[in-house]
A and B are shown apart, each in its own frame.
Chain A
Amino acid sequence: MDLLPLLPQALADGLLLGAVYAIVAVGLTLTFGVLRIVNFAHGDFLALGLYLTYLGATWLHLDPYLSLVLVLPLVTLAAAFTYRLLIAPVILAPEHNQIVVTLGLSLILQNAMLAIFTADLHTMPSVLSGQIVRIGNVFIQAAALIASAASIAVCLGLYWLLRSTELGRQIRAAAQDRDAALMSGVNVDRMYLIAFCIGIGSLGLVAPLIAPFNYVSPSVGSSFTLTAFIVVVLGSMGNFVGALIGGFIIGLVEAVGGLLTGGSINFIITYAIFILFLLFRPEGLLGGRRL
């Protein structure tokens, strides 16, 4: 079979997927880069956002796009509580203690969602579901286009925030040298809280946007966490631009890989490339430059 005519479609799919991966990974790399915490529960907050969107649809009959105004603040609030109750107490603890905490949080969140929502898959249709944009021979879901555009916009917005604002500068200071930041009068604890809330809050923004063309189940977060980790390691842990580029690379690899293999062993290809990459460039794409 000649696959070439299908390539533009796969590339478009890959870029759309990549943009969403990028924002999920940027959130993860932000929490790692600033707090030096490896958050294994990252994707579960996306699942939380999706379930909140689902509740908005079933209880309040809200279109996913409308539920954004509820989901974004609620997920951000959940992040704030998580920081205060679970993360702040172990912020200076050895790494393995922190890992136990975030892994435990992931288990708790997933099991709570399983208990409340069962393992059934739910969809969250929107007025835009099924709307297709056609560009030449490439067909794109309108909802996916919106989600990707918003993801890219948020990534760029966060980059601007970190680079060009007083708050961003203080966040970077806390990330680069905690003690020196403290001695300069930076409220490091507050910077950690804000970075954590931004990193996870961005998932609260993404969730309603990807809801129209995704399903939600209690374990959907795990696959996002895994992908985000691959992206983040690929782009060098804690590196903002690296996570952005890495997101697009993994999105493209998945889409083109799916085209070549018919989608069945898609993940295997991603991991194989990832592992090969790590063998040759263990420090990641952009090396150790920090936020």
Chain B
Amino acid sequence: MALLDVKGLHAGYGDVPVLRGIDLSIQAGSITALIGANGAGKTTLLRTISGIIPAEAGSIRYDGQDILGKPPQDIVRAGLVQVPEGRRLFPDMTVFENLLIGSSSPTARPRRDENLKMVFGLFPKVRERGAQRAGTLSGGEQQMVAIARALMASPRLLLLDETSLGLAPIVVDEIFVAVRRLAAQGMTILVVEQNTALALEVADHGYVLEQGHFAMEGPASGLMADPRVKQAYLGI
């Protein structure tokens, strides 16, 4: 069954259309990759799904419910949580405070201690940095905190926007080991990446976004072998 079902979605900024008819289906328990060039509209799609920007047309169904037009906090509460592009930590708060903010929603609040334990197990560095101001962390540490903050909301569907951007390969590996572990525990994950090889390697299924709609879609291994993907996104 599809946990997330997007149909005919149109969205943009003011008069500028960015998404022009998006159809996306994410199976529960899978990792889905969303790839596309700079400015293709990947972030716009995630922001629309999270309810940050309004859609002009189409529908978004999550867990059988229509979530289009719902306020963002209700979407988080339902378990659809995003790790934003650029990490977007609260810079003047400590790492620990950032995590607590992650469990702001009423459903996540009672599971705070349990979730803290879980994220500290996943990213021991986050615990070490607990008392430090988030703005002073390295890029990799910030990304771990951003993911940990999202996990504090007890997500069922986790959206990861450009997680690997600007990070050293060794840190990227560390983070994606954690992503795989989450998936293995049954979490559904959407990875948005400019690093196409990485995204298609971890994912079961993939979508290629071009000019506001999906140009290609299929099993990740199939996309990886596709000559067009190879030429345009993998540089082979």
Q: Which residues of A contact B (CB under 8 A)?
A: 166, 169-170, 172-173, 176-177, 179-189, 289-291
Contact = CB atoms under 8 A, between A and B. Distances in A.
B90 A185 contact: no
Given A172-B93, A176-B93, A179-B52, A186 B101 contact: yes
B153 A177 contact: no
Interface string B149-174: 11001000000000000000000000
Contacts of A184: 76, 101-102, 104, 149-150, 153
Nearest to B83: A183
A170 B52 contact: no
B89 A186 contact: no
Contacts of A189: 71
Nearest to B154: A185
B25 interface: no
B88 A180 contact: yes
Contacts of B101: 169-170, 173, 181, 184, 186
Interface residues of B, number: 29
Contacts of B73: 182, 185-188
10 contacts: A169-B97, A176-B90, A177-B88, A177-B89, A179-B88, A181-B101, A182-B50, A183-B52, A184-B101, A185-B105
B100 interface: yes
B72 A182 contact: yes
Nearest to A181: B101
A176 B91 contact: yes
Contacts of A183: 50, 52, 72, 76, 81-82, 84, 88, 150
B42 to A, nearest CB: 16
Contacts of B150: 183-184
Contacts of A170: 101, 104
Contacts of A188: 72-73
Interface string B73-103: 1001100011010001111110001001111
A187 B76 CA distance: 10
B55 interface: no
B200 interface: no
Most buried by A among B72, B82, B103, B150: B72
B4 interface: no
Contacts of B60: none
Interface of B: 47, 50-52, 71-73, 76-77, 81-82, 84, 88-93, 97, 100-105, 108, 149-150, 153
B181 to A, nearest CB: 22
Contacts of A176: 90-93
B90 A177 contact: yes
Given A180-B88, A290-B92, 18 more contacts: A172-B92, A173-B93, A177-B90, A180-B84, A182-B50, A182-B51, A183-B50, A183-B72, A183-B81, A183-B84, A184-B76, A184-B101, A184-B149, A185-B108, A186-B73, A189-B71, A289-B92, A291-B92
A10 to B, nearest CB: 37
A180 B89 contact: yes
Contacts of A185: 72-73, 76-77, 81, 102-105, 108, 153
Nearest to B102: A184
A187 to B, nearest CB: 5
A169 B100 contact: yes
A133 B112 CA distance: 52
A176 B102 CA distance: 14
A242 to B, nearest CB: 14
B159 to A, nearest CB: 9
A169 B88 CA distance: 16
Nearest to B153: A185
Please list the 8 inter-chain residue pairs (A to B) with the smallest Cβ-Cβ separation, ordered nearest first.
Answer: A185-B105, A185-B76, A180-B88, A182-B72, A176-B90, A185-B104, A173-B101, A186-B104
A186 B91 CA distance: 16
Most buried by A among B102, B108, B150: B102
B189 to A, nearest CB: 16
A225 B51 CA distance: 37
B154 to A, nearest CB: 10
Contacts of B153: 184-185
A190 B56 CA distance: 25
A216 to B, nearest CB: 39
A188 B76 CA distance: 13
B91 to A, nearest CB: 7
Contacts of B71: 187, 189
A187 B73 CA distance: 6
A30 to B, nearest CB: 15
A152 B146 CA distance: 37
A278 B97 CA distance: 34
A188 B91 CA distance: 17
Nearest to B90: A176
